[in-house]
Amino acid sequence: MTAIVYARQTKPSADAFSLDLQILECKEYALRVGCTEVEVFTDEGLSGWTLDRPGLQAALARIEEGGVSYFIFFELDCLARRLRDQMLLIKTLEDLGLQVAGVRTPIPHPVSLICLPQGYQSSYKIN
């Protein structure tokens, strides 16, 4: 099975998780669920307020090529800041037949059950 790992960090800070840590934990998760191939896509220095990020778009393009079973990310706000965008991305990926996994944010099924407090909290962050 092939997994796409996506990691994003707006800027390095004491309270942010580094890209290296995000990638490491996502790869470990991929191994635990039986993925034998992992492809990593990142966005560094880019806000999660937009979905128009080169790394995310490249990951989505790779998924469209086929042969991907999992889309793994660290936390919901690494994926997107807006709850609406988080749900849209996850639903789109699930509709394509992928298993979607947040390493530190379990994703409920159906996606509409995403923890609303997490989404609202992310909506009020600066980056």
pLDDT at 10: 86
**Helix runs in 33-82, H state only:** 54-65, 76-79
Contact 76, 6 (CB under 8 A): no
Q: What is the largest CA-CA distance in the chain?
A: 38
Contact 90, 56 (CB under 8 A): no
pLDDT digit string, tens, across residues 40-80: 999 998 999 999 999 999 999 999 999 999 999 999 989 99
* Domain 2-123 bears CATH identifier 3.90.550.10: no
Model pTM?
0.84
Q: Please enumerate in sequence order all residues whose Cβ is within 8 A of that of 115, keeping only pairs 6 or more positions apart, or say none.
A: 105, 108
So where are the chain's domains? 2-123
Whole-number percent of the chain with pLDDT over 90: 71
